[in-house]
């Protein structure tokens, strides 16, 4: 089985198919879901082809979230065992397994699917009204995606693990490509959504303000971040 091809016109449909299958399986388990990460960047218009599907699973609002991601991944695998499976993480000390989706077509391929729950990486229990729909896919708000990418850049840049440190260069490119999407950036400038606590927790915003200030100093883009509503 081969991974999705590394060209935009072939890889992106693979990841979209994996995301669709994960979202539908989560729905059968009572969860709604929303896309973040590289696929969300692609759906908003960034040119890089996504490598995997990052899914935020949203538990039913009337129930306490007692699940963890491993329990949820196992439930997905049991529900659709033909197309979903897990493998051991590369880190020998890791206690989690990695979820993959495999196609059932004539040219089989596989795609990693990351399932996260609210609270992880400061991802919120996103209300339905805040979900953005693009090409039929539920996506996190553009402003949240931008700060999530900034968080990834900061985490990877300060990592002592070389493979994570190297990923900071891709995060930087993703941030800059998002900032080039003029229509979406203008929406954020007009709305200044940073006080919406249903999307941005106080802790996340405190960390984000520090990250924005540092990023703006490194890349000399203080004017743009000021327009977005940050004090540099």
- pLDDT tens sequence across 63-79: 545 568 999 999 999 99
Distance CA 135, CA 46 (A): 14
Domain of 59, in residue numbers: 2-137
pLDDT tens per residue, range 83-117: 999 998 887 777 889 999 998 765 678 999 999 99
Please tell me whether residues 170 and 102 are part of one structural domain.
no
Please tell me whether residues 130 and 168 are part of one structural domain.
no
Amino acid 18: pLDDT: 96
DSSP, residue by residue, 153-217: HHHHHT-SSHHHHHHHHHHHHHHHHHHT-HHHHHHHHHH-GGG-TTTS-HHHHHHHHHHHHHHHH
Last residue of a domain, one of 120, 137, 154: 137
Element (H, E) at 97: strand 97-102
Total structural domains within the chain? 2
In a domain, 114, yes or no: yes
Please tell me whether residues 64 and 13 are part of one structural domain.
yes
| pLDDT at residue 173 tops 80 | yes
Please tell me whether residues 176 and 203 are part of one structural domain.
yes
Report the mean per-residue pLDDT for the chain.
90
For residues 193-220, average pLDDT: 94
| pLDDT at residue 16 tops 60 | yes
**What CATH number does residue 62 fall under?**
3.30.460.10
């Amino acid at each position: 089985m081969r991974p999705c091809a590394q060209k935009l016109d072939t890889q992106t449909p693979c990841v979209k198919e994996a995301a669709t299958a994960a979202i539908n399986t989560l729905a059968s388990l009572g969860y709604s879901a929303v896309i973040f990460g590289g696929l969300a960047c692609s759906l908003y218009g960034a040119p890089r082809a996504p490598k995997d599907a990052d899914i935020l699973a949203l538990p039913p609002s009337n129930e306490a979230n007692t699940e963890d991601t491993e329990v949820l991944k196992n439930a997905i695998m049991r529900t659709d065992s033909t197309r979903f499976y897990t493998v051991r993480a590369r880190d020998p000390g890791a206690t989690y397994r990695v979820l993959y989706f495999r196609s059932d077509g004539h040219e089989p391929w596989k795609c990693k699917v990351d399932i996260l729950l609210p609270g992880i990486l400061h991802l919120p229990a996103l209300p339905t009204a805040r979900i953005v729909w693009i090409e039929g896919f539920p996506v996190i708000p553009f402003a949240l995606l931008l700060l999530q990418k900034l968080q990834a850049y900061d985490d990877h840049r300060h990592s002592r693990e070389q493979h994570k440190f190297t990923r900071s260069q891709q995060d930087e490119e993703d941030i800059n490509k998002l900032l080039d999407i003029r229509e979406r950036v203008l929406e954020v400038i007009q709305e200044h959504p940073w006080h919406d606590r249903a999307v941005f927790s106080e802790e996340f915003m405190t960390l984000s303000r520090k990250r924005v200030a540092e990023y703006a100093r490194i890349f000399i883009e203080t004017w743009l971040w000021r327009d977005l509503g940050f004090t540099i």
